[in-house]
Amino acid sequence: MPLSKRPTLTQYLIDQRRRFPGASGDLNALILDVSIACKAIARAVAFGELGADSASSGGAVNVQGEVQKRLDVVSNEMFVRQAEWSGHLAGMASEEMELPYQIPGEYPRGKYLLVFDPLDGSGNLDVDVTVGSIFSILRAPDEVVTSGRDVVEADFLQPGARQVAAGYALYGPSTMLVLSVGNGVVGFTLDPNLGEFKLTHPDLRVPEDAQEFAINSSNSRFWEPPVKRYVDECLAGRSGPRGKDFNMRWIASMVAEVHRILMRGGLFMYPRDNKDASRPGRLRLMYEANPMSMIVEQAGGLASTGYERILEVKPTNLHQRIPVILGSRDEVRRLEQYHAEYAAGTDKPFESPLFNTRSLFMRGI
């Protein structure tokens, strides 16, 4: 399709809104505000080391206990400044802000909550690897909207199934915006000449057949048996129970991993491990796992903790972490089955005929 014929994000949103004649247009306007913030972040990231110490550490430590890079802070500011004034939000929450953000008094307040990771994978900035932004849109509780009061943490603690919209921006060789408003998943590519997101992927679906899995294998000694069993079987390839060879990928940028799964299928895992018993996984529920789970499910995939659907988890705090297993439907179901067998004590640890080794995680060891 010629570039000039491709709808812009604005045209797509207007077309989608025609399906809901009673819609106010507030959600469309909020999504466009987010898209502008993402365009601004894409420009800031593109400057690399030419930016004002962009990739160097900002020095501060965020609520996660992670040293903030200057672009983490800059990106967070871009989301806040672009979205706070429009009158569509009751409040915001971010990986980079310990407490919910109150809409300043000079601006009207609206009916949505915006939750975001402004720069996911920022540890990759100094090696110029793809990073991204992740966002989730929830409805504010009616009482918040009618009273106009400040938001509190509890207002955000809604299961991911209640998200109105979710998406991510990908700052890679091209800049993309991938979005779901609950009617499938669409992808837009930023036209560098026009500065507009143009529709390039009108119906993203997670391919069912999988030949790739993504996990940080340096944590393998901490994995629970079901994960070890799944990975061992993939590594055994065609000589093992899977009967086919697999590729392994690990970009250490969730946005890039999820995008690969939308394009090629496969499985992404950041599972619970016993490296730090206080942390049930690395990734955060509200602004990483939930929005990505909505995207993956809307594209025909699944997203699970290993024991339950991520979108049904009732959040307990704004920055809580959660195990994440998402991707091609059959692969997620297989890993859920392994978790269920492990919990029931009926799992069959994998034995590799090639190396005559049993899984390190034999029961009872």
Residues forming the site for ligand FBP (CB under 6 A): 66, 95, 117, 120-123, 216, 252-254, 270, 282
- Judged by beta carbon, residue 131 or residue 177, the one nearer ligand FBP is 131
Gap between the terminal Cα atoms of the chain: 59
- Judged by beta carbon, residue 257 or residue 347, the one nearer ligand FBP is 257
d(CA 42, CA 197) in angstroms, rounded, equals 12
- Judged by beta carbon, residue 253 or residue 305, the one nearer ligand FBP is 253
Tell me how far, at minimum, the Cβ of 131 lies from ligand FBP, in Å.
Answer: 8
- Judged by beta carbon, residue 29 or residue 251, the one nearer ligand FBP is 251
Assigned token pair, 268: 């992404």
Assigned token pair, 335: 């890993």
Assigned token pair, 353: 């005929």
Please enumerate, as own/partner, the contacts of 77-80 that have beta carbons within 8 Å and a separation of 24 or more.
Answer: 78/37, 78/40, 78/41, 78/44, 78/118, 79/34, 79/37, 79/114, 79/116, 79/118, 79/133, 79/135
Tell me how far, at minimum, the Cβ of 86 lies from ligand FBP, in Å.
Answer: 25
Tell me how far, at minimum, the Cβ of 255 lies from ligand FBP, in Å.
Answer: 7
According to DSSP, residue 200 is labeled: E
157 backbone dihedrals φ, ψ, rounded to 5°:
-75, 65
Number of H helices, E strands in the chain: 9, 17
Buried b / exposed e along 322-357 (16+ C-beta atoms within 10 A): bbbbbbbbebbebbbebbeebeeeebebbeeeeeee
Tell me how far, at minimum, the Cβ of 327 lies from ligand FBP, in Å.
Answer: 13
Tell me how far, at minimum, the Cβ of 69 lies from ligand FBP, in Å.
Answer: 9
Task: Tell me the residue nearest to ligand FBP as measured from the CB.
Answer: 254
- Judged by beta carbon, residue 123 or residue 159, the one nearer ligand FBP is 123
Tell me how far, at minimum, the Cβ of 141 lies from ligand FBP, in Å.
Answer: 27
- Judged by beta carbon, residue 181 or residue 214, the one nearer ligand FBP is 214
